[in-house]
Each structure stands twice: as structure tokens, then as C-alpha cells.
Structure 1
Amino acid sequence: MIDKQIIDSFKNLIDGLDVDEVYKKAIVDFMDTYDGNNTNEFYSMLVAVSGLLVELKDLRIVEHGYNLIEEESEKTQDELDSIIRQFKDLNDGKLPPDPMVSTLEEDQVTD
């Protein structure tokens, strides 16, 4: 039999995780209805659920990184498209509206 205080500690731990409320609520609701028997299965369930919640958090971090890379890729593609247009204009004998100046920090001359 698992002590109510231990169950409450696990509920507080799960409630403090940075995941959607839907997931936390389902786990806490189960813990509220747990009758205290079969402690091995209870702890196995807690380990499995904790692992899933950590994996979910890791996947969100990966998703965030992917989104940042995707945004940067879109910006780079826009810059390349602009350079291609300017090149075509120059190739057609048109002067660009602004001088072509590199914005890369590596290209800036330092004293």
C-alpha cells in the first residue's frame, strides 16, 4: 500500500512539469482514483509516464530548434532571391536602386 503523502508528492511533481495541462490532468486524475494496491505497477506507471513527459519536452525543444532553422533558411532564400534579381538587372544593363553592400560582419574591415 502506498502512503497518500507519497502519492501527493508525485502529483505535485507532475503538476510542476512544463507540459500541457491535458497530460498532467489525466495522470493526476488517475492518481486520485488509485486505491493504493499493487505498488509495483503504480511505480512502473510513474516511471513510464515521467519518461514520456520528458520525451515530449525534448521533442518540443527539437521542434523549436527546427522552426528557428526553417525561419533562417527562409530569410537566406529571400536574400538569395534578391541577389539573383539584382544580378539579372545588372546583366540586363539596369543599375540597382541601392549600392550593393555586403551585410556580413566578416566582410567589414576592422582596425
Structure 2
Amino acid sequence: MTTQPLDPAVAAFVAALNSGDKDAFAAALTDDVTMSDDGTERDVTAWTDSEIFSSNGHLDVEDVASDGRTLTGTYTNSTYGSMRTRWAFTVTDGRISRFETGQA
């Protein structure tokens, strides 16, 4: 991967995640967003509440693919500590309609 700018929708997702801003996070997602974690489909609301907002999640982006929609970085939260993760996003009409994450 080469370091590239993030797609604007992905940048909004990461900024909202890192600031703990639930409203901005919700605004970055489509109403019918789906996601998977390590290949397992998850309920987006339950997962983000547990893995991001109630556990102080933070993503340090390290590498971005040329499309700006796939990245690797160190994800840290108070539940699991830090781990290298990969994130892939599908963007529809400027918002995230699907994201997939897992250990890199």
C-alpha cells in the first residue's frame, strides 16, 4: 500500500471515531450500514457502542490504499488494548454503507 489521502467519507468516519462524537459518526454512515469484524457480521450499533464509544476507541491510521477506502493502522480501546487492524469501506453517495475490520 502507498500512503494516500483518505476518501472524505472515510476521513469523517475516522475523525468521529477518534473524537468519540456519536452524532458525527452516525452522520458518516448510511441508514442501512452493515459491517463485519474479523469476517463475522455484526450489529453496527451494538458493535460501535461496545468497541468504540464505551471503550474509548482510537484509530491511528498508518497506511492508506490508493483508493482512500482501505487502510491499516493501530486500533486501541480500553477493552483490548492496541492491535494492528485493517479497515475496508464501501462509500455510497458520500457516506459509509459498509465497513469491514479485523486484525492485520
- Structure number having the greater strand percentage: 2
Q: Which has the higher contact order (CA 8 A, sep 6+)?
A: 2
Q: TM-score, normalised by structure 2?
A: 0.26
Instruction: Decide which structure has the larger Cα Rg and report it.
Output: 1
Q: TM-score, normalised by structure 1?
A: 0.25
